[in-house]
């Protein structure tokens, strides 16, 4: 079968579509014919040699496809359309997936749309609800609102919690899209002081929860934007990870809970539980079209390098998809 | 009545015992004749002009005494022996306390012993269980094990959760005392690498929970000592609050939850709930003498400056008490 590997840690030109043996499902795993995979920042970090969580030489951590083999007890059958996270191997024609991590694809969704769901929606769900403990009608600040996780988080926070949603993004086009998805307060971080706007929007109180994909660049501003006893989930470092001269005292005096998280390195059991909880709660919304996957662009698997470059340019609204099977 | 105020932000010599009008209890408050108060680092920060939470000119946030007036509905009566947190005013002959924050003093304890309980035991209880979510037989690292909160936390973690307790302290005398209270692994931070010792004691896995009173000085070492998905409660900055350089990525890759906290700035409602929960769970242990307040030294209220200096010298094991009434 064909699959995309990294020749040598480096740029998009290091990606290569090569011939490899088909993977073999272990006990409790499904073998899936991949129709579509999605591109994630984790893939870029892996390509650059900065991650090292995955042993699979083929990139890719989420897919949508058709079950072609079931190994062991499972509620899935051959021919089922499934989507979900994989432990690497997503950018290939066939991939194995633990059966307890697979989700049935709602009838209304194509494979491309389904591939746009697992990573960003599970991450948004995990960070908003499992870690961030978002409550009904709380205020949440979602940085990079037009990103994959951002667009998922806006929809989930609005539909499940009727939250007041404040987003930051770098263009009018992105902000308008966030508003369409349900965002209430739109901040163009290139033109506005987000701290000022947030304090205005919360009567000086600050937000209950921050989903932070930015890291270092926004450290002080996030501290100023969060309420006393607020929760802050650090989930990305688009603005760098290295901080100089920080004062821990504000974390104490404001009683802030700061939780770092990544989904990829979590255990198989964690991913299975998260998938199960998410599918139970969110599938009805997906079936009714009230929550929807957001696709920016679809590339063929042969042009995977272009797909990576597109993500690195930060122009995308929503997910970047690789079409693996016509 | 007599009470201790701060003449001007500064050293212990700025403390002065002066004559002031008696405080008046508001609705739902008790007026208490103070028998003993305890010294806290918060008092030192207030004396230095670094806090500003409290509007009461009299220092002191915890006391033990006798109810002399009850204003409004309450389960307390005149003559009851009570202990608890106050919103300032503890270093005085009389103080007001919200009735829903008072705890009956177990018969077996003196006023001095009772004054040694509220702040450190409530803080230890809050950080171990409410914030730190300590579970049965987990491993907890308690820095400054011989401090007021440290000695309370060791006892609570052992009696309530049968936890494996690792402590750090700076002398053999302090470590021996921690062991007597229930600590399992003793680390002299002046002579040993605590990261190495902790990894040895946890088979390389790291601890489930850190109670960190140190802050900046231990940042990197705490990161190296905590397990993946560990909880870290930042509750003091004895080792400074300013960090020169940190890398946020470790918080993400290890999925760490870091929560800053202080008890004093929390709301009245929070303190009432915490007090209620603590009293219900821990009072039986105090009555049976299975958990006990730890007193280092008792000073008379007239020598309050010496009491502060004693705390600043970091030689104490357990609490420093001010005797207000003979």
N-terminal to C-terminal alpha carbon distance within chain A: 15
Residues A125 and A59 reside in one and the same domain:
no
Pairwise CB contact (< 8 Å): A242 & B243: no
Distance (Å, whole) CA A112 – CA A34: 10
User: How confident is the model over B249-269, as a mean pLDDT?
Assistant: 91
Distance (Å, whole) CA A239 – CA A246: 16
Residues A138 and A109 reside in one and the same domain:
no
Whether residue B283 is contained in a domain is answered as: no
Nearest CA to B225 out of B212, B213, B207, B202 is that of B207
pLDDT more than 70, % of chain B = 99
Pairwise CB contact (< 8 Å): A246 & B250: no
Pairwise CB contact (< 8 Å): B260 & A256: yes
Distance (Å, whole) CA A83 – CA A324: 14
The torsion angles phi and psi of A40, rounded to 5 degrees, stand at -130, 160
Residues B87 and B140 reside in one and the same domain:
no
Residues A151 and A182 reside in one and the same domain:
yes
Q: Which of B241, B260, B279 is the last residue of a domain?
A: B260
CA distance A49 to chain B (A): 15
Does A265 lie at the interface with B, CB-CB under 8 angstroms? yes
Does A8 lie at the interface with B, CB-CB under 8 angstroms? no
Q: Which of B238, B260, B282 is the last residue of a domain?
A: B260
User: b/e string for B162-186 if b means 16 or more Cβ within 10 A?
Assistant: ebbbbbbbbeeebbebbbebbbbbb
Contacts of B13 (CB under 8 A, 6+ apart): B305
Does A247 lie at the interface with B, CB-CB under 8 angstroms? yes
Does A261 lie at the interface with B, CB-CB under 8 angstroms? yes
Q: Is B251 left (phi over 0), alpha (psi -120 to 50) or beta?
A: alpha
Distance (Å, whole) CA B30 – CA A309: 68
Q: H helices then E strands: how many in chain A?
A: 10, 16
Contacts of A268 (CB under 8 A, 6+ apart): A87, A98, A101
Q: Which residues of chain A have pLDDT under 50?
A: none
Whether residue B189 is contained in a domain is answered as: yes
User: What is the per-residue pLDDT for B52?
Assistant: 65
* Per-residue tokens: B134: 């300590």
- The string of pLDDT tens digits covering residues B220-237 is 999 999 999 999 999 988
**A136, containing H or E segment:** none
Task: Decide if A45 contacts A51 (C-beta within 8 A).
Answer: yes
CB contacts of A259 in chain B (<8 Å) are: 251, 255-258
Nearest CA to B35 out of B139, B129, B105, B100 is that of B105
Whether residue A193 is contained in a domain is answered as: yes
User: What is the per-residue pLDDT for A318?
Assistant: 87
Task: Decide if B234 contacts A256 (C-beta within 8 A).
Answer: no
Residues A214 and A136 reside in one and the same domain:
yes
3-state secondary structure of A273: helix
CB contacts of B243 in chain A (<8 Å) are: 243, 245-248
Does A250 lie at the interface with B, CB-CB under 8 angstroms? yes
Categorize the per-residue pLDDT at B264 as very low, low, confident or very high, splitting at 50, 70 and 90. Answer: confident
Residues A159 and A256 reside in one and the same domain:
yes
Task: Decide if B305 contacts B15 (C-beta within 8 A).
Answer: yes
Distance (Å, whole) CA B187 – CA B178: 10
Residues A32 and A155 reside in one and the same domain:
no
Interface A:B, Cβ pairs < 8 A: 105
- Burial class from Cβ neighbours inside 10 Å (0-12, 13-18, 19+) for residue B97 reads buried
Residues B57 and B112 reside in one and the same domain:
yes
- The string of pLDDT tens digits covering residues B154-181 is 999 999 999 999 999 999 999 999 999 9
Distance (Å, whole) CA B151 – CA B157: 10
Whether residue A272 is contained in a domain is answered as: no
Q: Which of A216, A239, A260 is the last residue of a domain?
A: A260
User: How confident is the model over B21-45, as a mean pLDDT?
Assistant: 95
How many CB atoms are located within 10 Å of the residue B159 CB?
14
Pairwise CB contact (< 8 Å): B262 & A252: yes
User: What is the per-residue pLDDT for B236?
Assistant: 87
Domain residue limits at A298? 2-117+294-323
**Is it the case that residue B54 has pLDDT exceeding 70?**
no
- The string of pLDDT tens digits covering residues B143-157 is 999 988 999 999 999
DSSP summary character for residue A105: P
Best of B246, B265, B266 to mutate (most A CBs within 10 Å, chain A): B246
Residues A249 and A137 reside in one and the same domain:
yes
Task: Decide if A165 contacts A137 (C-beta within 8 A).
Answer: no
Of B235, B249, B259, the CB nearest to A257: B259
Task: Decide if B255 contacts A261 (C-beta within 8 A).
Answer: yes
Whether residue B288 is contained in a domain is answered as: no
Task: Compute CA B318 distance to the chain's CA centroid, rounded to the nearest angstrom.
Answer: 10
Categorize the per-residue pLDDT at B44 as very low, low, confident or very high, splitting at 50, 70 and 90. Answer: very high
Residues B73 and B173 reside in one and the same domain:
no
Nearest CA to A124 out of A255, A291, A3 is that of A291
Task: Decide if A16 contacts A71 (C-beta within 8 A).
Answer: no
Residues of A numbered 124-143 whose beta carbons fall under 8 angstroms of chain B's beta carbons: which are they? Answer: 131
Whether residue A285 is contained in a domain is answered as: no
Task: Compute CA B167 distance to the chain's CA centroid, rounded to the nearest angstrom.
Answer: 16
SS3 content of chain B, % helix, strand, coil (to 5): 35, 30, 35
Does B257 lie at the interface with A, CB-CB under 8 angstroms? yes
pLDDT more than 90, % of chain B = 87
**Is it the case that residue B37 has pLDDT exceeding 90?**
yes
Task: Decide if B307 contacts B39 (C-beta within 8 A).
Answer: yes
Distance (Å, whole) CA A305 – CA A13: 6
- Give me the CATH number covering residue A225: 3.40.50.720
Whether residue B162 is contained in a domain is answered as: yes
- Give me the CATH number covering residue B46: 3.90.180.10
What is the interface pTM, i.e. ipTM, of the complex?
0.86
3-state secondary structure of B314: coil
3-state secondary structure of B77: coil
3-state secondary structure of A250: helix
User: How confident is the model over B292-297, as a mean pLDDT?
Assistant: 96
Does A260 lie at the interface with B, CB-CB under 8 angstroms? yes
* Per-residue tokens: B95: 């103080």
Does B241 lie at the interface with A, CB-CB under 8 angstroms? yes
Q: Is A144 left (phi over 0), alpha (psi -120 to 50) or beta?
A: left
Nearest CA to A260 out of B226, B237, B262 is that of B226
Residues B247 and B202 reside in one and the same domain:
yes
Unique residue bearing structure tokens 């066939």:
A94
User: How confident is the model over B49-78, as a mean pLDDT?
Assistant: 90
User: What is the per-residue pLDDT for B254?
Assistant: 94
Say how many domains are in chain B. 2
**Is it the case that residue B53 has pLDDT exceeding 90?**
no
Beta bridge partners of B85: B62
How many CB atoms are located within 10 Å of the residue B326 CB?
5
Whether residue A89 is contained in a domain is answered as: yes
Q: Is A206 left (phi over 0), alpha (psi -120 to 50) or beta?
A: left
Residues B134 and B112 reside in one and the same domain:
no
Categorize the per-residue pLDDT at B40 as very low, low, confident or very high, splitting at 50, 70 and 90. Answer: very high
Distance (Å, whole) CA A166 – CA B214: 35
């Amino acid at each position: 079968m064909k699959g995309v590997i990294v020749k040598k840690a480096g740029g998009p030109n290091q990606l290569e579509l090569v011939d490899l043996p088909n993977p073999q499902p272990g006990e409790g795993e499904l073998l899936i014919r991949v129709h579509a995979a999605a591109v994630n920042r984790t893939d870029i970090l892996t390509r650059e040699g900065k991650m090292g969580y995955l042993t699979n030489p083929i990139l890719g951590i989420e897919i949508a496809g058709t079950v072609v083999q079931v190994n062991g007890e499972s509620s899935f059958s051959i021919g089922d359309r499934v989507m979900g996270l994989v432990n690497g191997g997503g950018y290939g024609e066939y991939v194995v997936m633990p059966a307890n991590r697979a989700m049935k694809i709602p009838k209304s969704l194509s494979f491309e749309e389904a591939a746009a769901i697992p990573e960003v929606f599970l991450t948004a769900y995990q960070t908003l609800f499992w870690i961030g403990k978002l409550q009904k009608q709380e205020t949440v600040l979602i940085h990079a609102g037009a990103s994959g996780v951002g667009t998922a988080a806006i929809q989930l926070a609005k539909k499940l919690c009727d939250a007041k949603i404040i987003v930051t993004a770098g263009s009018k086009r992105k902000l308008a899209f966030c508003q369409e998805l349900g965002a209430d307060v739109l901040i163009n971080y290139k033109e506005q002081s987000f701290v000022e706007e947030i304090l205005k929007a919360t009567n000086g109180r600050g937000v209950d929860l921050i989903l932070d994909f930015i890291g270092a660049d926004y450290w002080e501003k996030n501290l100023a934007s969060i309420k006393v006893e607020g929760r802050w989930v650090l989930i990305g470092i688009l603005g760098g990870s290295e901080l100089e001269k920080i004062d821990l005292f504000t974390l104490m005096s404001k009683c802030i809970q700061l939780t770092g998280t990544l989904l990829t390195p979590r255990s198989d059991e964690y991913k299975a539980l998260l998938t199960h909880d998410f599918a139970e709660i969110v599938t009805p919304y997906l079936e009714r079209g009230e929550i929807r996957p957001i696709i920016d662009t679809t590339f063929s698997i042969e042009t995977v390098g272009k797909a990576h470059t597109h993500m690195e340019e930060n122009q995308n609204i929503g997910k970047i998809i690789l079409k693996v099977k016509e």
